[in-house]
Every structure is written in C-alpha cells, then in structure tokens.
Amino acid sequence: MEINKFIDHTILKATATEADIIKLCEEAKEYNFFSVCVNSGYVSLAKKNLAGSNVKVCTVVGFPLGAMSTPAKVFEAKQAVKEGAEEVDMVINIGELKSKNLKKVEQEITAIKEAIGDLVLKVIIETCYLTRQEIVIASEIAVKAKADYVKTSTGFGNDGASLENIALMKSAVNGQAKLKASGGIKNLDMALSYIEAGVERIGTSSGVSIVKELNG
C-alpha cells in the first residue's frame, strides 16, 4: 500500500519558521506525500520549494477557530489560490452551527467553494466541539455545499480524530464526499485503522515516521 499518497504532510503551528516550511517540502518530495499543508502565509514559499515535483500545496482558511467573517475567509481562499494553493481546508463557523444558523454555515462553504472553483475543498468540522447529531448535520451541510471532503479536526481543539466520528461522518456523507482524518494520528497502526475505516486522506505531522514504520 502506498500510504504516503494518503498523507497531507502538515505543519500549522504558530511558531513554524521559513526553515521549517522548507524542510517540510523537502521531506514531502523525498517521501512523495500527496501534499504539504501549511498556513496561507506560507503558500508561495511552499509552491516555490515544491516546483518540479508532484507534491501539491494545501492550505487552511479561517484556521483554527473558524469564527472569522465569511468575506475574510473567501478572500483568504482566493489569495491562497492565486499564490499557488491547490487544495483548501476551511474551518466552519462552529458557533453558527451550534446556534442552528445552518443556512449561514452552508452559504459560507458554498462561497468558498465557488471562490476556488474546481480545486479541492475540505471542510473541517472540529468534531471535538460537536455532539453526535451536530457532526451528522455538519457533514450533511458540507455535502450540500458541494465540498469535496469532510475533515475531522484542526489539531488545535481539545481532541482530534476518532474512528467513531469517522463512522458517523461516513454514514452522513453517504458517498457524496470523501473523508479526511486529522488530529493526533501519530503512528502506522492509527493511520492504517483510519484508511480501513474509509478515509482517503490523513493530515499529520508524523508522516515521515509513519512511512519509516511501514518500511520498517
């Protein structure tokens, strides 16, 4: 199995330096990961360092809280694409979902999807803050808004991915969107259990050690 092709090689911490981003890109090329995932301010740097490789540039929008205004998120997405991002992982407005302003949540996802066109949009629902019912609703809204993926977590909440939540999300999207697990996936066993559960992408900063473990 080419586990490397499931991996979005990720660094999103506030303290990430230019040198860290360059190292991330070098590792992604060496291990042939699907993409690197970086904050939007580093998209052009990542793009430059991945030139000539197959590794895509993924970025995050409205990260990690999701509570920014819709126009700000749309602008961030458009700007990132202009600078070379090929995939966008956006955080939903969690407070609006919990306030049951479901149309607003859907309209925001739709606006970002329209802003990036045919590029891949992954919708981070931040499962750790949601009830089981809200996880289902958020997943259904993402599908309605034409998102390509529903994603578990930012990795900055009080918990990350779980197989139980992936099962809920899988059932909710009913084959109409793909699944990305992220948050706390640190070893090969965990990665394989998520792939077995049906995820098509894994966001992790432990990609190198996971592949090394596989090649043991």
The residues annotated as belonging to the active site are 89, 151, 180
Q: Which neighbouring-strand residues pair with 11?
A: 38
Measure the CA–CA gap between 179 and 150, rounded to whole angstroms: 5
Measure the CA–CA gap between 211 and 209, rounded to whole angstroms: 6
> Are 100 and 89 contacting, i.e. CB atoms less than 8 angstroms apart?
no
Long-range CB contacts (< 8 A, 24+ apart) of 41-47?
42/16, 42/18, 43/80, 43/83, 43/84, 43/85, 44/83, 44/84, 45/18, 45/21, 46/21, 46/84, 47/83, 47/84, 47/85
DSSP state letter for 13: -
Bond prior to 64 in cis (omega within 30° of 0)? yes
> Are 38 and 59 contacting, i.e. CB atoms less than 8 angstroms apart?
yes
Give the chain's radius of gyration (CA, Å). Answer: 16
Supply 34's token pair. Answer: 């699907």
**76 half-sphere exposure, CB direction, 13 A CA radius:** 22
